[in-house]
Amino acid sequence: MENNLRHQIPGMPSKNKNKSKRGFKIVLFIIIFVLGYFASYYFILPSVFPKSIRGDLQNIRVFPSSDGKYKLWIQNDGTLRFTSRTNNMGQISLKTKGWFCRTYSYVYDPISKDVLNGFKTSYDELPPVADIFYEKGKIWLVNSSSDGIPPEINVYNAENYQQELNTKTFCDKNKELAAGIINVSVDNQKPVRFRISTKDGRELVYNPSDDKFFSNTVEFEKYYKQNDSTASGIFALVNEENSDKRKKLFYITGPKYDLYFSTSWAQEIVKENMSAFKSMKPTEILPGKVFIEGNVLFTDDEIAVIIHQDNVGKTSNRILTCVDKSGKELWSVQQKDLFDELKGREDDSMTEMSFLRTQLTAQRMGDTVILIYKPVGAIGFQLADGKKLWEYED
C-alpha cells in the first residue's frame, strides 16, 4: 500500500517553526516601525523642523508688528489622545488621556505663508487651551487651572517672539501676587481684564493695559471712568419684539466708560427704560433688515462684523456681514466662501449657533477683517468689499 504520509526528516527545520519565526519578525518589524514613527513625529521632527506646523488647532490670534504687517499667533495641541475605559463594580466611565502631552506655538505670516517662529511646551497632563490676546507690543497666553495643570500666564514680545514673563516672574514683580495664584481667567470684554484668585485668599481684577490691580470690578469701573471719558460708539444686536431669533442692529453712542460696561444691557438701552442709560443714544441701523440668530463678532466705533444665518433650521447656511455706522452694508460673505464646518448639520449639535458663538470671533487690522473659527482656522477679508485675501486652515 502506498503511504502518502510525509515524515519529518531528523535535523530539518519544521515548516511551522519557520512560519512562527517569520510571523514574529513581521510583528517585531511593525512594532519597531510604529515606535520609530512616534519617536520621529513627537521627538525628532519637532527638533529638526521647529517651524513645521503640527498638531490640532486650539486657538489663534492676529497681532500687528512694526513693519506694518500683521501676523497670526497659532496655538496647537500636539498630544496623542486616547480614551481610557474603566469598570468599577458595573459603573463604566470613559476618560480622555494623553501621551506626549504638549502644545506647539507658531508665529505665521498669512500673506507669505511663512512660519516665522515655533516652539514646544510640554505638560504632565492634557494641555490647557490658552486665551490669547495682544496688548501694547506683548502677546499674552493665559489659561485657567485644569486637571493636574496649574494656571499659567506667559508673555511674549510681539517683535522678536521671545518670552518676557512666565507665571512665576509675573507674580514676583507684583506684590499683590506674592503668595502665588490658584486660578486666573480672562474676560475679553473691552477693556480686557483678568480675574485672579491668590493663594492667600484674595480675589483681584487685573487690567493688563495699565498694569494695575483692583480689589473688585466696581473699583475697576471707577478707575476707567476717571481716566477715559471720551465719547465713542459701538454696535449691538437686539431681539425683535416677540422673537429671540430675529435681531435688529443698533449703533449706540455715549461715553466710552458707559458703553464698555453696559453692553449686556443693550435691550434696555434701546428701549430707554432705565435712567442709568440716559447718557447713551441708540440709533437703528438698516431698519429693514433682520439678522437671524445673529451675533456681533467684532465692533469698534466704525464697523460691526456679524455672523448670522439664512433661516432658523438646523441645516442653515451661515453669512458674515460687515456694516458701517452710516448704515451701509459694506459686504456679505455667503457660506460657500466660509469654512465648510460652519454650515448647520442636522446630526451635529456643535454646528448650532448657540455653540458656534463660543468658537467664533473677528478682529480688525487696518483695512483687513479677520474671521477666526477656533477649531478650524482664520480667513482674512478686505474691509472695503469683502474680498477674500487669504485663508489659514488647520
pLDDT score for 375: 86
Pull the grid cell for residue 379. 480667513
> Can you give the pLDDT at residue 2?
47
Query: pTM higher than 0.85 for the full model?
Result: no
- Given CATH 2.40.128, say whether it is the number of domain 41-85+95-172: yes
The two domains 41-85+95-172 and 228-394 share their CATH topology (first three levels equal): no
As a whole number of angstroms, the distance between CA 266 and CA 272 comes to 10
For residue 238, the model assigns a pLDDT of 94
Q: What's the grid cell of residue 61? A: 490670534
> What pLDDT is recorded for position 246?
96
Closest CA to 319 of 328, 310, 330, 329: 310
What's 47's DSSP letter? H
Contacts 24+ apart (CB under 8 A), 145-151: 145/182, 145/183, 148/124, 149/123, 149/124, 149/125, 151/181, 151/182, 151/183, 151/184
Which set of grid coordinates corresponds to residue 296?
456681533
Q: How far is CA 50 from the centre of its chain?
A: 22
Side-chain half-sphere exposure of 84, counting CA atoms within 13 A: 9
Domain extent listing, the chain:
41-85+95-172, 174-226, 228-394
Candidates 90, 124, 119; CA nearest to 106 is 119
Rounded distance, CA 322 to CA 306, Å? Answer: 6
Those residues with Cβ within 8 angstroms of residue 314's Cβ, 6 or more apart along the chain or in another chain: 344, 345, 346, 351, 352
**pLDDT for residue 45:** 56
DSSP output for 175-216: GGGTT-EEEEEEE-SSSPEEEEEETTS-EEEEETTTTEEESS
How far apart are the C-alpha atoms of 292 and 312, rounded to whole Å?
Answer: 7
State which residues of the chain have pLDDT below 50: 1-2, 4-6
pLDDT of residue 5: 47
Residues 6+ positions from 43 with CB-CB distance below 8 Å: none
- What CATH code is assigned to 228-394? 2.40.10.480
C-alpha torsion 346→351→352→353, nearest 10: -150
Across 44-73, b (16+ Cβ under 10 Å) vs e yields eebeeeeeeeebebbbbbbbeeeeeebbbb
